[in-house]
Chains A and B, each alone.
Chain A
Amino acid sequence: MSVLDLNQNKDMRDAFFDEIYFESINNPNLIVITNDMDIFSLRKLKEQRPNQFINVGVAEQNMINIASGLASSGMKVIIYGIAPFVVFRCYEQIKFNICSMNLPVSIVGIGPGVSFAFDGPTHHAIQDISVMNALPEMNILNPSDSNSAKHCSNLILNTENPFYVRLDKGVHPQIHNFDKFESYKIIKPIQKTTILSTGTMVSNVMKATKNIMNIGLIDIIKLKPFPLDVLNILENTENVIVIEEHSKSGGLGSIFNDIAADKNLSVKLNLIGFENKQLLKYGSRDWFHKEAKIDFKSLTEKILRII
């Protein structure tokens, strides 16, 4: 079991963006762009290095186009904003100007799943993995704690490809103690039934499986390209359960299903996530999880039924 230590922990956004700030000091070609979103750890970048920070205002299409123009001119570009707005509002710009040009632009979508629960349907990001997975050049990261968020930040800073990072907000239980980026991590040893989960849902699954001994758990941090090692690791597994804070259509479950089929991995697959339905009501994140039966108590029941 990995370390769960809330005391040394920090907000996942701070863990991620502190690295961006440090890099900006050494790299004058690093530029951060937002659609008017305030991030505590980037206020100092905005104040101290105004040339390396652009607030384009509420204009996401333009934001992506500007980012691609900058990246094509030798700049390293990090974009951030509330996840659905930096994904859906400007999808063609991403497909065309970032991906078809294969430019080093990283899009950081803040607030995956229903983390902006109170702001309602417009602010949920439960189809973002689906659409980003459809773009051939796009890499997708979904860190599960502040430690993995920090290493995702270092990875994008040192890689010249398009990235989509699904970054949660707030302080979440610390799961990892990596000293470098890892694309996945075995949290509980592989069993006949093994769970794949991703993002901060991993800590929910850890809580849900606390008293279940005969279950494996892998945290998938890099969703695309999917780490193929995981298929070898699952060679003797009969049941795979995928649990994610995303629609069951097109998320980690779908990505895994496609790859397992392609590589002739024969496992029984159970997908747990949001149904492919609009979430039109308002409530807290916990309430949405309960409604969708992905809260830790419902998860425990579902997992016990499967094994």
Chain B
Amino acid sequence: MEDKLKKISNNVRLRVLEIVAEKNVGHIGGTFSCVDLLVTLYYGGILNYNDKNFPDRFILSKGHACLALYVILEDLGIISKKILNSYGDDGGLGGQVDININGVDWNTGSLGHALGVCAGIAHASLMQGKNYKAITILGDAECDEGSIWESIMHITDYKLNNVIAIVDRNRLSVTDVITDNAVFKLLPVALKHLGWFYKEIDGHSFQECLAVLNEAKISNKPSFIIANTIKGKGVSYMENELKWHHSVPTKEQLNIAYRELK
């Protein structure tokens, strides 16, 4: 299973890179850091997206990583090649997640909203007696948003055990390194204290991602998973480099990247 997922991940990264290079726009760094998480959700049997009546709900809160999601949706046959190829075109797929695209659950692009939305979905799921999951991938810089903390308190108080929050902890915001900030000192302490299913994992280890997400799915607590990741993961010169938040590779850089990903 892990080998299969790794292969898929590399293909997703390659495809993202090809499209960004061709269209000359995109957020490669923060997309590559969460590709393995997205692949685990969609191909690792975690996200029950195919259920006809009550599928799990998934919101990519860090909407700027949308291209990886679109590549996956195309690969799964949920959107067409033509739609995917419209990325970057006027009136085509854009740089944030768009509800008008098949398989997309929620508009994102503004940060800090998705965990609260998941809380609402989780309420509905429990009220309807269905227990489908509300899953989101958040960026780590996004956790500065006060609304996320409001949601954490609410999910705790209302025991919304079907919420699974995954943080893509790549330690780089748009302009800064965020290794030692108060938010990430407090989050583990707070979540453990509040009784969440809290885990820190290597977000590029499929073995760990699968094990912990499967555990989260059956947990009777809300889940918060910090996935330690590398911004730009998979391409040596992009890894942990701030400039790859939204830079586009030159032809020479592209060739190096292809070699490393193939």
Q: Known A61-B116, A100-B107, A101-B107; judge A69-B122 contact (CB<8 A).
A: yes
Contacting residues of chain B (120-135) with chain A, CB-CB under 8 angstroms: 120-125, 127-128, 134
Chain B contributes a number of interface residues (CB within 8 A of A) equal to 29
A62 contacts across to B, CB distance below 8 A: 116, 119, 147, 150-151, 154
Q: Are A97 and B153 in touch, CB under 8 angstroms?
A: no
B99 contacts across to A, CB distance below 8 A: 100-101
A–B pairs, 16, beta carbons within 8 Å: A51-B127, A54-B158, A61-B146, A62-B154, A65-B115, A66-B120, A66-B123, A72-B105, A72-B117, A73-B120, A73-B125, A93-B113, A96-B110, A97-B106, A97-B117, A101-B106
Quick one: closest B residue to A59, CB to CB? B150
For B14-40 the 0/1 string (1 means CB < 8 A from A) is 000000000000000000000000000
Q: Are B150 and A68 in touch, CB under 8 angstroms?
A: no
A59 contacts across to B, CB distance below 8 A: 150, 153-154
A92 contacts across to B, CB distance below 8 A: 110
Residue of B105, B117, B125 touching A65 (CB-CB under 8 A): B117
Cβ of A290 to closest chain B Cβ, rounded Å:
39
B153 contacts across to A, CB distance below 8 A: 57, 59
* Cα(A44)–Cα(B28), bound, Å: 53
A-B residue pair count with CB separations less than 8 angstroms: 89
A72 contacts across to B, CB distance below 8 A: 105-106, 117, 120-121
Q: Are B123 and A69 in touch, CB under 8 angstroms?
A: yes
Residue of B105, B116, B117, B124 touching A75 (CB-CB under 8 A): B124
Q: Are A70 and B123 in touch, CB under 8 angstroms?
A: yes
* Cα(A54)–Cα(B116), bound, Å: 14
* Cα(A59)–Cα(B150), bound, Å: 6
Q: Are A61 and B120 in touch, CB under 8 angstroms?
A: no
Chain A contributes a number of interface residues (CB within 8 A of B) equal to 27
A225 interface contact, C-beta 8 A: no
Q: Known A69-B134, A101-B106; judge A93-B147 contact (CB<8 A).
A: yes
Q: Are B121 and A69 in touch, CB under 8 angstroms?
A: yes
B118 interface contact, C-beta 8 A: yes
Q: Are B147 and A65 in touch, CB under 8 angstroms?
A: yes
A259 interface contact, C-beta 8 A: no
A73 contacts across to B, CB distance below 8 A: 57, 120-121, 124-125, 128
Cβ of A120 to closest chain B Cβ, rounded Å:
24
Q: Are B118 and A69 in touch, CB under 8 angstroms?
A: yes
A87 interface contact, C-beta 8 A: no
B120 contacts across to A, CB distance below 8 A: 65-73
Q: Are A70 and B147 in touch, CB under 8 angstroms?
A: no
Q: Chain B at the A interface: mostly helix, strand, loop or mixed?
A: helix
B125 contacts across to A, CB distance below 8 A: 73
Q: Chain A at the B interface: mostly helix, strand, loop or mixed?
A: helix
A93 contacts across to B, CB distance below 8 A: 113, 116, 147
B146 contacts across to A, CB distance below 8 A: 61
B113 contacts across to A, CB distance below 8 A: 65, 93, 96-97
Q: Are B150 and A70 in touch, CB under 8 angstroms?
A: no
Quick one: closest B residue to A51, CB to CB? B127
Q: Known A97-B117, A101-B99, A101-B106; judge A56-B124 contact (CB<8 A).
A: no
Q: Are A54 and B123 in touch, CB under 8 angstroms?
A: yes
Contacting residues of chain A (101-131) with chain B, CB-CB under 8 angstroms: 101
* Cα(A101)–Cα(B197), bound, Å: 31
Q: Known A59-B154, A73-B124; judge A65-B110 contact (CB<8 A).
A: no
Cβ of A106 to closest chain B Cβ, rounded Å:
15
Q: Known A68-B117, A69-B118; judge A61-B147 contact (CB<8 A).
A: yes
Could you list 6 further interchain pairs (A-B, Cβ under 8 angstroms) beyond the known A61-B112, A73-B121? A62-B116, A62-B151, A66-B154, A69-B118, A75-B127, A97-B106
For B134-157 the 0/1 string (1 means CB < 8 A from A) is 100000000000110011011000
Q: Are A65 and B119 in touch, CB under 8 angstroms?
A: yes
Q: Are A65 and B127 in touch, CB under 8 angstroms?
A: no
A67 contacts across to B, CB distance below 8 A: 120
Q: Are B124 and A69 in touch, CB under 8 angstroms?
A: yes
Q: Are A74 and B122 in touch, CB under 8 angstroms?
A: no
Cβ of A93 to closest chain B Cβ, rounded Å:
6
Q: Are B154 and A96 in touch, CB under 8 angstroms?
A: no
Quick one: closest A residue to B114, CB to CB? A65
Cβ of B241 to closest chain A Cβ, rounded Å:
31
Cβ of B36 to closest chain A Cβ, rounded Å:
26
* Cα(A147)–Cα(B139), bound, Å: 49
* Cα(A69)–Cα(B124), bound, Å: 8
Residue of B106, B117, B154 touching A56 (CB-CB under 8 A): B154
Which of A61, A66, A93, A100 has the largest number of chain B CB atoms within 10 A? A66
A100 contacts across to B, CB distance below 8 A: 99, 107
Cβ of A212 to closest chain B Cβ, rounded Å:
50
A71 contacts across to B, CB distance below 8 A: 120
Contacting residues of chain A (46-95) with chain B, CB-CB under 8 angstroms: 51, 54, 56-57, 59, 61-62, 64-75, 92-93
